[in-house]
């Protein structure tokens, strides 16, 4: 095909995009231009997403080390067997889940309630968005510095405030039982704004006349929330909850910065285990296997989300 | 509607007064939470404005407010160099993501080619692969091509952002096509249509993706921490994480460094609040 004819076909097909325009020519004439548009993304995608995923899978079956070149011999399922039989793996998986359990309900429920209130109020929305969302744009390192100071034993604002009302403050980050809840509190403060904004957007899509009609039928505010707002926000809630679970499972920064996984490894998350094994102990193959096991957990959560969304779409 | 209001005037009035009370309670709860949320930030600022010796007396009052802690932070840390690194890395990543993703999205939204669905779903699958599970292979990869301790190591893996393709595609699909069809009929190339018509119309999506990418790249810790061990290249989060312990009990200095680390993003947030929020809402709800 000469250049000229190919250009000609392109032009004709361009018209074919409109559903009303007459369709002429085959469906393949735009292939070459399309390849040009897709190439930069696809090449980078293969190099830095698909390629590394396959390479990571491969590494997970080897004894690869950070300080030795090459794959250093195949290990079969050895790394997986070791991970599944190791206390460190299960405890860091449990810490990650425990963190997810501690953060998801408050972040979803508070995000919903506060967005609902802000939406009802109408006025001063910029102020609430500032208060709740501003922490979300801060780097984790800034958040960690601020909260380490708030949690400082005896001198910190929290301890002083609790002492003033006659309560004995716990040893926030120093106590194995309290460290994770403390990290969860910090995280709720830090990331609530994200869910708040998602819910606020969802609320604004609910038509106002639904509420007016309900009010006309004598429904009070509480009934309106129960019978209109909550069902109408079903999809938003699924989305917020799943994004939240995935974000919480990927936790690393807070622990790394605030407790270094301590005290006594009580807050080491699965990603920190990958970091420790791969980059402190140089066990690349083992770290890759732990990454893959973690990836399976994330995929399972995403799969649950897909089924939920499918089901919701069928109902609607 | 008017007739109904007249008929049930009394009931409506009762509902109205009930709603007014309800709204007042809502406002009270909301304001209480908002103030609670501002306390940590306010306390950080308050601490930073004290001399270090004063910080151990836990009170909001400051006897002799001073900016010394900020001056000391600039003197004792590489804050300016961190700003520079973060700015270069975040800007290049944001620009790169916008270009690469909008080109791909344009092809998927506007062109007809074989295996289009396969390509689109292949890209969408990327949303499921979190970068965090790829740190080990990435590290080996960048080590092999000798790009560790360069800005490229931080920028390149962030460029193929599947979610950005998705956002652009959704936006392009919603744009009216009359203008492009006319241009195509006049013989304009696809690239011209993309560059001169579609991209300018998609300004809101471009802004949302660019700013959101800028903020998330600026805040990234794990991967930059692994690849930027050279102090001259460190970003703000990596730099802060590295010097974190060095302040000891100089709490005013610690808070000053936290605030200085926060300022660029607070500025971005105040300037582009709407686009950031749209970016989140757009990516989420239409999924």
pLDDT in tens, A50-84: 999 999 999 999 998 888 878 888 888 999 999 99
According to the model, what pLDDT value does residue A316 have?
A: 54
Residue % of chain B over a pLDDT of 70: 93
Helix axes of B135-144 and A284-315: crossing angle, nearest 10 degrees: 130
Q: Do A132 and B34 touch (CB under 8 A)?
A: yes
Provide the mean pLDDT of chain A: 85
According to the model, what pLDDT value does residue B176 have?
A: 86
Asked if B48 and B252 count as a contact pair (C-beta separation under 8 A), the reply is yes
Q: Round to whole Å and give the CA distance between A73 and A203.
A: 56
C-alpha angle with apex A184: A117 to B283, nearest 5 degrees? 55
Per-residue pLDDT, averaged over A104-108, amounts to: 95
Three-state SS annotation for chain A: CCHHHHHHHHHHHHHHCCCCCCCCCCCCCCHHHHHHHHHHHHHHHHHHHHHHHHHHHHHCCECCCCCCCCCCCECCCHHHHHHHCCHHHHHHHHHHHHHHHHHHHHHHHHHHHHHHHHHHHCCCHHHHHHHHHHHHHCCHHHHHHHHHHHCCCCCCHHHHHHHHCCCCCCCCCCCHHHHHHHHHHHHHHHHHHHHHHHHHHHHHCCCHHHHHHHHHCCCCHHHHHHHHHHHHCHHHHHHHHHHHHHHHHCCCHHHHHHCCCCCCCCCCCHHHHHHHHHHHCCCHHHHHHHHHHHHHHHHHHHHHHHHHHHHHHHHC
Q: By the CB < 8 Å criterion, does A13 face chain B? A: yes
- Would you place residue B188 in the very low, low, confident or very high pLDDT band (cuts 50, 70, 90)? confident
Give yes or no for residue B107 having a pLDDT over 70. Answer: yes
What does the block give as tokens for A70? 């090459």
C-alpha angle with apex A49: A45 to A55, nearest 5 degrees? 130
Reduce the DSSP state of residue B174 to 3 states and report it: coil
Name every chain A residue with its beta carbon within 8 A of the beta carbon of B89.
none
According to the model, what pLDDT value does residue A23 have?
A: 42
According to the model, what pLDDT value does residue B26 have?
A: 85
According to the model, what pLDDT value does residue A21 have?
A: 40
According to the model, what pLDDT value does residue B112 have?
A: 87
Per-residue pLDDT, averaged over B149-168, amounts to: 94
CB pairs under 8 A between A and B: 318
Please identify which residue in the block is written with the tokens 């194995």. Answer: A176
What is the chain B residue with the closest CA to A199? B281
Q: Do B112 and A146 touch (CB under 8 A)?
A: no
- Would you place residue B12 in the very low, low, confident or very high pLDDT band (cuts 50, 70, 90)? low
- Listed by number, the residues of chain B in 95-134 with a beta carbon closer than 8 Å to a beta carbon of chain A are 99-101, 103-104, 106-108, 110-114, 116, 119, 123, 126, 128-130, 132-134
End-to-end distance of chain A based on CA atoms, in angstroms? 49
Q: Partners of A62 in the beta sheet?
A: A74
Give yes or no for residue A17 having a pLDDT over 60. Answer: no
In this complex, which of B135, B219, B280 lies closest to A139 when CB atoms are compared? B219
According to the model, what pLDDT value does residue B147 have?
A: 93
- Listed by number, the residues of chain B in 198-237 with a beta carbon closer than 8 Å to a beta carbon of chain A are 215, 218-219, 221-222, 226, 236-237
Asked if B103 and A277 count as a contact pair (C-beta separation under 8 A), the reply is no
Q: How many residues does chain B have?
A: 287
Q: Round to whole Å and give the CA distance between B173 and B201.
A: 12
Residue of higher predicted confidence among A23 and B89 = B89
Interface probe for B, chosen from A15, A30, A33, A34 (most Cβ of B below 10 Å), is A34
- Would you place residue B182 in the very low, low, confident or very high pLDDT band (cuts 50, 70, 90)? confident
According to the model, what pLDDT value does residue A189 have?
A: 96
Give yes or no for residue B1 having a pLDDT over 50. Answer: no
Give yes or no for residue B193 having a pLDDT over 80. Answer: yes
Q: By the CB < 8 Å criterion, does A93 face chain B? A: no
Name every chain B residue with its beta carbon within 8 A of the beta carbon of A41.
100-101, 103-104, 123, 160, 165
Nearest CA among B106, B148, B156 for reference residue B131: B156
Measuring CA to CA, how many Å separate A91 from each of A99, A299, B179? 12, 20, 59
Mean pLDDT lowest among A29-33, B25-29, B183-187, B229-233: A29-33
According to the model, what pLDDT value does residue B114 have?
A: 86
Reduce the DSSP state of residue B286 to 3 states and report it: coil
Q: Do B100 and A44 touch (CB under 8 A)?
A: yes
Q: Round to whole Å and give the CA distance between A257 and A181.
A: 15
Helix axes of B251-285 and B79-110: crossing angle, nearest 10 degrees: 0
Name every chain B residue with its beta carbon within 8 A of the beta carbon of A45.
123, 126, 160, 162
Q: By the CB < 8 Å criterion, does B22 face chain A? A: yes
Q: Round to whole Å and give the CA distance between A145 and A139.
A: 10
Shortest distance between the Cα of B66 and any Cα of chain A, in A, equals 19
According to the model, what pLDDT value does residue A90 have?
A: 95
Please identify which residue in the block is written with the tokens 């620009």. Answer: B95
Give yes or no for residue A214 having a pLDDT over 90. Answer: no
Query: On the CB side of B257, how many CA atoms lie within 13 Å of its CA?
Result: 30
Name every chain A residue with its beta carbon within 8 A of the beta carbon of B117.
none
Name every chain A residue with its beta carbon within 8 A of the beta carbon of B41.
134-135, 146
Name every chain B residue with its beta carbon within 8 A of the beta carbon of A12.
none
According to the model, what pLDDT value does residue B194 have?
A: 92
Asked if omega into B285 is within 30° of 0 (cis), the reply is no
Q: Partners of A74 in the beta sheet?
A: A62
Q: What is the pTM of this model?
A: 0.86
What is the chain B residue with the closest CA to A156? B58
Q: Do A137 and B276 touch (CB under 8 A)?
A: yes
Residue of higher predicted confidence among A160 and A44 = A44
According to the model, what pLDDT value does residue A201 have?
A: 86
Give yes or no for residue A31 having a pLDDT over 70. Answer: yes
Q: Do A152 and B185 touch (CB under 8 A)?
A: no
Q: Round to whole Å and give the CA distance between B62 and B273.
A: 32
Give yes or no for residue A242 having a pLDDT over 90. Answer: no
Name every chain B residue with its beta carbon within 8 A of the beta carbon of A226.
none
What does the block give as tokens for A135? 């922490």
What does the block give as tokens for A190? 């830090």
Q: Round to whole Å and give the CA distance between B123 and B116.
A: 11
Residue of higher predicted confidence among B138 and B245 = B138
In this complex, which of A134, A256, A295 lies closest to B133 when CB atoms are compared? A295
- Listed by number, the residues of chain A in 178-197 with a beta carbon closer than 8 Å to a beta carbon of chain B are 189, 192, 194, 197
């Amino acid at each position: 095909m000469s250049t000229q004819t190919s250009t000609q076909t392109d032009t004709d097909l361009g018209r074919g995009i409109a559903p009303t325009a007459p369709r002429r020519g085959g469906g393949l004439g735009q292939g070459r231009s399309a390849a040009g548009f897709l190439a930069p993304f696809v090449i980078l995608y293969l190099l830095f997403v698909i390629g590394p995923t396959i390479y990571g899978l491969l590494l997970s079956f080897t004894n690869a080390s950070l300080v030795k070149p090459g794959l250093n011999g195949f290990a079969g399922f050895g790394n997986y067997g070791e991970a599944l039989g190791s206390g460190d793996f299960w405890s860091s998986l449990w810490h990650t889940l425990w963190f997810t359990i501690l953060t998801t309900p408050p972040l979803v429920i508070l995000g919903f309630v506060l967005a609902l209130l802000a939406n009802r109020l109408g006025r001063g929305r910029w102020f609430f968005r500032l208060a709740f969302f501003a922490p979300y744009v801060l780097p984790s390192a800034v958040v960690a510095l601020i909260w380490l100071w708030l949690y400082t034993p005896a001198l910190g604002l929290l301890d002083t405030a609790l002492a003033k009302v006659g309560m004995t403050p716990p040893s926030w980050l120093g106590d194995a039982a309290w460290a994770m809840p403390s990290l969860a509190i910090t995280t709720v403060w830090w990331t609530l704004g994200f869910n708040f904004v998602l819910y606020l957007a969802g609320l604004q899509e609910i038509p106002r006349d639904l509420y007016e009609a309900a009010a006309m039928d004598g429904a009070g505010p509480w009934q309106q929330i129960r019978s209109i707002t909550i069902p109408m926000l079903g999809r938003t809630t699924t989305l917020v909850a799943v994004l939240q679970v995935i974000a919480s499972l990927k936790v690393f920064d807070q622990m790394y910065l605030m407790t270094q996984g301590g005290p006594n490894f009580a807050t080491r998350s699965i990603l920190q285990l990958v970091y420790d094994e791969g980059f402190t102990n140089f066990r690349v193959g083992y770290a890759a296997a732990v990454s893959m096991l973690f990836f399976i957990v994330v995929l399972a959560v995403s799969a649950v989300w897909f089924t939920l969304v499918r089901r919701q779409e069928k109902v609607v | 509607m008017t007739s109904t209001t007249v008929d049930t005037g009394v009931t409506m009035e009762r509902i109205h007064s009930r709603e007014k009370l309800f709204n007042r309670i809502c406002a009270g709860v909301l304001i209480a939470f908002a103030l609670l949320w501002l306390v940590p930030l306010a306390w950080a600022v308050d601490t930073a404005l004290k001399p270090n010796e004063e910080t151990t007396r836990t009170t909001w009052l400051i006897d002799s407010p001073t900016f010394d802690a900020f001056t000391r932070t600039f003197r004792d840390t590489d804050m300016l160099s961190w700003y520079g690194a973060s700015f270069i890395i975040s800007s290049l990543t944001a620009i790169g993501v916008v270009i690469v993703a909008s080109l791909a999205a344009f092809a998927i939204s506007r062109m007809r080619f074989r295996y289009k669905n396969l390509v689109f779903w292949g890209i969408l699958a990327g949303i499921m692969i979190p970068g965090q599970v790829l740190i080990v292979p990435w590290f080996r990869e960048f080590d092999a091509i000798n790009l560790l301790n360069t800005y490229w190591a931080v920028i390149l893996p962030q460029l193929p952002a599947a979610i950005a393709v998705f956002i652009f595609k959704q936006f392009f699909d919603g744009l009216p096509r009359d203008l492009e069809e006319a241009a195509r009929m006049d013989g304009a190339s696809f690239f011209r249509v993309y560059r001169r018509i579609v991209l300018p119309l998609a300004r809101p999506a471009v802004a949302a993706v660019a700013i959101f990418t800028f903020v998330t790249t600026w805040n990234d810790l794990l991967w930059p921490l692994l690849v930027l061990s050279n102090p001259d290249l460190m970003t703000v989060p990596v730099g802060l994480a590295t010097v974190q312990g060095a302040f000891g009990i100089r709490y005013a200095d610690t808070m000053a460094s936290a605030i200085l680390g926060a300022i660029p993003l607070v500025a971005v947030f105040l300037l582009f609040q709407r686009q950031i929020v749209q970016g989140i809402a757009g990516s989420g709800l239409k999924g």
